[in-house]
Structure formats: C-alpha cells, structure tokens
Chains A and B, each alone.
Chain A
Amino acid sequence: MTAAPRDLLGDGRYGEFGGKFVPETLVPALEELEVAFVEAWADPGFRSELDALLRDYVGRPSPLTEARRLTQRLGGARVLLKREDLNHTGSHKINNTLGQALLARRMGKSRVIAETGAGQHGVATATAAALFGLECTVFMGEVDVERQALNVVRMQLLGAEVVPVSSGSRTLKDATNEALRDWVASVGGTHYTIGSVVGPHPFPAIVRELQRVIGTETREQCRALTGRDPDAVVACLGGGSNAMGIFAEFVGSEDVGLVGVEAAGGGLESGRHGAAIARGVPGILHGTRTMLLQDEHGQVIEAHSISAGMDYPGVGPEHAALAAAGRATYVSRSDDDAVAGFQLLTETEGIIPALESAHAVAEAARLAPELPADATIVVCLSGRGDKDVDQVARRLGLLGDQP
C-alpha cells in the first residue's frame, strides 16, 4: 500500500526541529516538490523505473559482508558491513541522486544543481545528470576543490560544471549557500538535488525515503544471515543521509540500538570539529531548524574534519530530534580515530573505507568488545576510500616526498 501523502513525508516537523525557513521565492517550489514526490512515489511506473536503475545501474542490493577478521581482532560482537562502497560511483549518494533526477525529469526540469563536500554527492549528481541528459552545476567550496581534486575531474568528465565557492569558510556550508542562491534565481527550470537529509521540508524526508533502501536491505540481509535484527547499527554523519537511510528502517524497533558518529575533528575540546549534536545548540541554517555549531551571537561556526563530507556545522533535523528523544545515540570520533579505523578495516578485511565511513568503523571498534559474542553490529560503510588514499598517505608520512 502506498502511504498517504502526510504519512510518507510528514509535515516537516521533527519535534522542535525541521521546518521550511526559506525566502518567499522558494516556498511555491517546495510545495510543488512535495506534491510531485508524493505523486511519483505512488506511481508504480516511477517506482519500478527507480528499482530497475538501483538494480541494474547501481548494483543493488549492496551486500552485507561478514567482517570475520575484524570481529576476531576486536573480540566481542559480530561485525557486519553494509557495503554502500560497492555502489556505482562508490557511495550511498547515488541512491538519492537517481531518485531526484527521475523526479526532476518528471517535473519537467532540464537542469539540476547540487552542493558537494567530499565530492561524492557531486559525482553522484553529475552521474545521474549524464544518465538522463540533464544539465548539471555543482557548487563546491574552494578548500574542498583543492583537497578532492580527483572528484572535480570526475564531475567535469561527466559533463557537469563545477563552481568553486570562495565565500565564508569555503567548504560544504558555503557550497550549500551558493546552491540555494542559484536556486532562488533559477527555480523555474532547475531542480535542487540536495545531497543529505538537510535543508527545508520536504528535502529531509525525500532524501530519507530515497536512502531508506539501505535499511530495508540491511534488515532482510541481517535476518537471513543471523536469524534476527542487529543489536546495533552504526553510521557516520555529516548531514546524515546514510545514517538516516539505515536508521529509518529500525527506528520503530526499540531493541535495535542506533549509533550516529559525528566528526570530532581535532577533538571536541579543540573547537575544531563537526559535532553539531554534541556541541551545537538549536539554530536555523539552510532552511531548517536543527542542532547547529554557532557562536554566542548566532553566527555559524566553521566545522572541521579530516573528511570533507563531515565538514558541516549542522545535521539533519530528524537526527536532532532522534537525539533529543533519546531514540538514537550520537557519539563523535576524531580525525585520528578515523585514520585508525581506515587502517584497521583495510588491514583486516581488505576493504578501504571512505574517511567518513572510517568514523563509523572506529566507533564499532570501540563498541564491539563491550558486547557479547552473540551480539551483532552493522556498520554502514557509506563509501569507498580511494578518494582519501592520498590524504591518509600524507598524514601517515607514507609518501616519499614527505619531510
């Protein structure tokens, strides 16, 4: 059965969080988007086209891999890896961008725009745009353009225009500002393919629904493998789309612990981190009310993380609400922890995770020894780490030209 419109996307309120804090220009477009998504979701033709793309183009379902040597090394709970790193384009982002590109086409929009941090969402948007013949512009902070140069080239090869953003902190936050400004000017013919469960309603709900496939598959696969649901699901979050996608399926099952891992960067006490839930206060950014890193006057503070995808001062409003309600636990792992997690998974399982996902690996490594051997932890491996090899090599002094 198709959910009634309000059940599918809700009213955009997640406890005290969420909402639609945008200039008047965009209000009609958000209403149009909500109606269009609900109609599309109820249309079997739309769903079967998306399902076929996820199967034949992305390679879904992504495997749930038993991490035997990691489990053995950690000594404790059994660790399973949800392999979003094996998706086409190398991360979970493609689940969302294909759905939104189909929606853009259905709405008659010929151009898509996106913000990107690490470049994974930009690549996934450019890929979907190439597949559907849509014009594509990706906004990327200058700092990220520099540290993720390879992804810039990938986007350009895919036919996207990459616009470096030089305002503010020159990272994901500012790229998102610039994408919103573009959309205010281009809203008639352009769809804003937002990359995470952030932004004004209905975006957080749409992205959650498009990423829910991660959780749905995980539950089936885990039951098939272990005979029951996992005891804990661990996922990293910047904005929080992979985490929301896998959590969404388990939120109603109180026995499943949900653990979100924020970026502690150089350490929570250093002030250089991206831990919006741990260290933020409620605020309004990019059209939504959520936990937000800000100074005493309400100016938004730059986030810091070794992983560009977690360099975001806010978090999806539904995560803020899950934290406030105590339904999910949010912890943070530092840059050093992430690099250790990166090395650990690579050495024990032959899987190089994205630095973002390595935060979740690090938390699982902390958690597993605390749990009994018959417990199960699922780690959402949101992306692969090829893009981060250079950065990790520099940090570990593995390159010959390092001093």
Chain B
Amino acid sequence: MIAYVTGGLPDMATTERIIETVVGAGADAVELGVPFSDPIMDGPVIQAGSQVALEAGTTPAAVLACAGAAAAAAPIGFMTYANLVAHAGWDRFAAEAAASGVSAAIVPDLPLEEAGDWFAACERHGIEVVTFCAPTSPDDRIAANAAAASAFLYAVGVLGVTGERATVAQTALDLARRAKALTDRPVLVGVGVGTAAQAAEVAAVADGVVVGSAIVRRVLEADTPDDAVASVGRFVAEVRDALDAVAVAQPPPDPHCDLCEAARLSEWHHEDALCWIADCEICAVPMVVWRHHGLPGPADAAAMVERLRRVADARLGPEGEAWYIDGNRRNIPDHWHVHARRRFWS
C-alpha cells in the first residue's frame, strides 16, 4: 500500500510526522505530493490540500527536503505536475530529488509522448519512474506504459480525477486484470480507493493500492496537527489490517479444480475481489463462485449470495417466481459456489 501525503499540509513539520506515522502504521511506501497551483488530475480534496499548503508558503525544495528525513524508513516517491519539474529543469529536478533521498517520480501530466527528457533525467540520477494506464487506454498503450515503468504501473481505477467513491468501480478491477495480463511490472490501483474494504477488494486483483484523498481529507478535517497525525495513523492501520486479512484468508488454488481455473468459458456478469458470477457451463444459469478454493465463512457466503441475487433478479426476474437459490454443490463439492436455478415452470 502506498499512502499519498500532501507536502506542507498543514505545514512541513506535520508532514514529516504524518510520513513517519503512515510508515509506522504499515504503508509500504509514501507518495509525497509537491503542491502545484493547477492540479488538473486532482479532485476537490487534494486541490484543497494543495491550496492550503501553497498558501502556507510550501516550496518544491522544502517538500523534497522533508522526504530525505523519512526515506530511511520506507521508499518515498514524489508526485507533482510537469510545470514544476520543467520550470526547475528536467535534469536539475531529478538531481535534487535524488539528492534528497527520493527514489521514484510520479508526474501524471507527462504521457509517454512528452516524457522522453524526463525519463532520461530520472535514469541518469537513479530515480524510478511511475507510468499510467486508465480505463480508456487500449492494450498497446498499457503495454508501452508498463514497459517504460521502472517503479510500477499506476492504474487509474476510474474515469475521473482523484477522490473517494462509494464503491470500487468495476473499471478498476477490469483495468487491473487487463494490465496484469499485459505486463510483469507491478500494477497498483489508485483513484477511487478510499476505505479499508475497498483497498482489500482491489488488492485481490492488483499488486497494491494507492490511497490519497482519504488521507488528505483526514488532515484537512483535523482541528490540530496532533489530531491529523492520529487520524491518518488510525486509517492507514485499518487499511493495512484489511490488506493483511486478504493475504491471510486466501487458500491456495487447487490445480485440479475447474472453478479455481476460472476459465472465462461464458460471459461474466460480475466480479470483485470476493467472487465472480457467470453462467454455469453445465446448467446455463447464473452461478456465483468464491475466488478461493474451499469454503468461506458465513459472512462472505451471505455477501456472495446477495451479489448473485442482484444478478439473477436482473437477468431472470423476481426471486421465488422465476428462480431460487440452489446451494447444492453436486459436481465440485470442495469449491464454494451457488446456482440461481430457474423454476421449471418459469
């Protein structure tokens, strides 16, 4: 998990404490935002954070300096917009970032077509680069971006700018799966990942997540710097626990199990970190299948049956009249799945 922190929000000293705290709470790395006056990839929360930081007099040099102190505990990457880098000079900015201990760079408004000089400068100074893919990216662009990524490929999970969303978008899961199939580079999903549950859901299909607005919002909402540090620390620990639970809870796939193979023989109606729903190859009715081999706990089972209900209601008609829940596992008893079976008269 990468935690995004706006440099200079609410001040540099607190930023340093927040970085320490998120690393202590289990963030694997920190994405340190260097605030820019016109952040077109950011939604209202990170915009507000940047504006507060700029009004407090935050400079790029001060933000980079603060990275140095924290870089011993966890890798620090910086995120900013092309103008701040270009204004300093591609090479000079890369050199200064490297000297301050930063190990990676994220510049979202530098697509491959414009990034040549920057990537070369990063390579000269030992800075790894992050590149992007989005739900609109065709496969060849995903592959080209992945090939250019020395750090990781950042999958922008939703069509839109940074910000929290109520649920994980299907686009995030689809994009992560598509990207994973195209590259061996790590694929991290960001934009629209704002809760521990969402992080866990996304982490099941990607190599990691980037959490940003949910952190910056907590800093903005806090009454004091101490509250900000404590609130962010609690949140990041929660996300860490959820991610660890995903890692622990997954039984290994059984190489002989057809359901573990999850071959897409028919149209998939739904998928998320927990389960997928498709028409059963044998019965031709919607079937929900747990992502993992074996049998889930009752809460997960109930959640999966609920997802099947939504799909079956939409496709078959009202439950009871048109179809019913059939939990009987006739052919593959040791991998949990449930059919939405048609009433024979319907």
Contacts and interface: CB of A to CB of B under 8 A. Distances in A.
B36 A299 contact: yes
A168 B55 CA distance: 11
Interface in A308-367: none
Contacts of B133: 24
A25 B136 contact: yes
A173 B158 CA distance: 25
Contacts of A158: none
Interface string B66-94: 00000000000000011110111000000
Contact of B110 (A21, A281, A297): A21
The 9 A-B pairs of least Cβ separation, nearest first, read: A298-B87, A185-B160, A24-B132, A25-B134, A284-B83, A299-B37, A298-B84, A300-B37, A284-B82
A297 B108 contact: no
A28 B136 CA distance: 7
Interface stretch (A95-103, A149-157, A176-184): A176-184
A289 interface: yes
B38 A297 contact: no
Nearest to B109: A21
Contacts, number: 118
Given A168-B38, A184-B41, A24 B141 contact: yes
B113 interface: yes
Contacts of A285: 38, 83
A195 B122 CA distance: 36
Contacts of B110: 21
Contacts of A27: 111, 113, 136-137, 141
Contacts of B10: none
B195 interface: no
Given A28-B141, A181-B43, A287 B159 contact: no
Given A28-B137, A168-B38, A299-B37, A294 B108 contact: no
Given A284-B83, A284-B109, A298-B84, A23 B37 contact: no
Interface string B135-150: 1111001000100000
B274 interface: no
B47 A187 contact: no
Interface residues of B, number: 42
Interface in B296-341: none
A376 B39 CA distance: 45
Given A22-B111, A187-B159, A294-B87, A168 B136 contact: no
A167 interface: yes
Interface in A7-33: 19-29
Contacts of A21: 82, 109-111, 114
A392 B148 CA distance: 55
B231 to A, nearest CB: 24
Interface string B97-120: 000000000001111011000000
A77 B110 CA distance: 48
A184 B83 contact: no
Given A25-B156, A167-B47, A188-B136, 9 more contacts: A19-B113, A24-B136, A25-B134, A29-B136, A168-B37, A173-B38, A284-B83, A284-B86, A286-B40
B86 A283 contact: yes
A299 B141 CA distance: 30
A185 B38 CA distance: 17
B108 A298 contact: no
B60 interface: yes
B54 interface: yes
